Amino acid sequence: MLKKYLSDIAFMQVLNLLIKPIWILIIDAAVQEALPQEVYGNYFALFNFSLLFFIVLDLGLNSFNITEVAQDNSKIGLLTGSIIGLKIILALAYVLIILSVGVVMGYTSQEFGLLLTLGAIQILTSLTQFFRSIVSSLQRFRVDGIFMVLDRILVILFVAILLWSEIPDFELTIHRFAYAQVLSLSLVLVSLLFFLRGYLSQVRISFSLASILPILKKSWPFAMLVSLMGLYTYIDGVMIKSLVGDAEVGVYALGYRFYFALLMFAQVFSGVLLPLFTKNIADSALIRSISGYTARLLLFGGLVASFITTVYSLDILNIINPGKANSDSAEVLVLLIFGFVGAALTLVYGALLTAGKELKWLNRFAAITLLLNLILNLVLIPRYNAQGAAMATMTSQIFFGLICFFVSVRKYNLHLNFTSLLRPFLGVGLLALIIFRGKQYAQNMSVHFVMIAIAVLLAAYLFKLYKLKDLKSVLKK
């Protein structure tokens, strides 16, 4: 099972590596480069604002659907019609909420126009995520991987035309950038419906309270969790805009992009782990094997990225945004990447606790994390600007990740002892030594990266990511 799981993950990550970096590091970066910092900063803040209320569109329905359908595929026909009907009602409520709160926030008419388009993006995202949850619940992870990147492929094509085609009167604007995303998601939604047509042929959309209320009753703990986690994850951009202005949001967004790219790769694991854990929750040996290996892999990747970013943060930003890279955004990047270590723990052990329906624990500590995040943002943003928000995000992610880990250890009897931790700690020490101290002795960056590559190979062995016999087999080939 571990081999099949890793094979599916590898396939999905190859797709991610082929597509997502082009979107995040080339297309989105080119859009920010082409537009004034205040314009993109305002877009980033409004996009995060639209995400704050995403829970209204989801209400935990996607996670609930996965935990139900992964155990019994026949529930697709029983649940889908009512969930779609509920999502249509929720979409109308969502639009009313973002417009009402926008009035309270004092948004301008131009900002409302952009906000409505961003709201359409969130509605379409919610629908595509729901139908993808059916695909993943069927354990069709490779197909889900294709749909995962399809919208990015389409939006890359559309935005590239806006950026570089030089068609008269068709240049890039922030509104056209948003419209391209709406069009891409619409095409993906149609493709998903076509793929699932055999499972959905008998489904009828229902607005009946008799069918909707039982689903709401079962899904509300999932809704609470998604809401709390969404708030402490995405509120940073909104608070920066409110406390110190759009320019600082632009500084934060520049550093945030690389962190977001790393997070997108890691979330692929979570998307596979939830249905996999749900289907095999009674198999303790499988749970220990897959959760342990995935956690080691993500923590290892996060630590390597954190250490390298600490040393080369400004160089990385100069590659992504040569015209706008600055030391403030570099500091934001370093802090956020260290926060990824906590996010990695959440992605693995949060998925395990969700699959086991241990939502009482998750919701309790997610609420504490949100409170911690709000306090830190209110204290740190006025003093340290964008860097203050990054400090708050890093602290919140690490806090909640550690909570998920320790609760999982207790609930699922995951083995944790000094011997099992010694080798990874040695690996961390080796990486830190080569990355931080090696730069002083390397003649140039190329030599240093060769040193880092060797250290990564050795540290991966200490993290038990591969065995010596696996390496020998590769070398023989």
Question: For the whole prediction, is pTM greater than 0.85?
Answer: no
Q: Are 311 and 439 in contact (CB under 8 A)?
A: yes
Q: Which residues contact 263 (CB under 8 A, 6 or more apart)?
A: 340, 343
Cβ neighbours around 311 below 10 Å, total: 17
Task: Give per-residue burial for 251-280: e unless 16+ CB within 10 Å, then b.
Answer: bbbbbbbbbebbbbbbebbbbbbbbbbbbb
List the structure tokens of 22.
Answer: 């082009």
The pLDDT assigned to 398 comes to 94
Q: Are 44 and 250 in contact (CB under 8 A)?
A: yes
CA distance 154 to 152: 5
SS3 state of residue 417: coil
The pLDDT assigned to 387 comes to 93
Chain centroid, CA 33 distance in Å: 23
Below-50 pLDDT ranges, the chain: 471-475, 477
Listing DSSP states for 275-342 in one string gives HHHHHTTT-HHHHHHHHHHHHHHHHHHHHHHHHHHHHHHHHHHHHH-TTT--HHHHHHHHHHHHHHHH
List the structure tokens of 448.
Answer: 């240093």
Q: From residue 136, how far is each of 86, 89, 192, 346 by CA, in Å?
A: 21, 25, 12, 20
**Which of 305, 423, 412, 419 has the alpha carbon at shortest distance from 349?**
412
Domain boundaries along the sequence of the chain: 2-416
**Which of 84, 72, 356 has the alpha carbon at shortest distance from 215?**
84
The pLDDT assigned to 169 comes to 77
List the structure tokens of 203.
Answer: 């489904």
The DSSP code for 450 is: H
The pLDDT assigned to 474 comes to 40
**Which of 259, 295, 296, 291 has the alpha carbon at shortest distance from 277?**
291
Q: Which residues contact 415 (CB under 8 A, 6 or more apart)?
A: 288
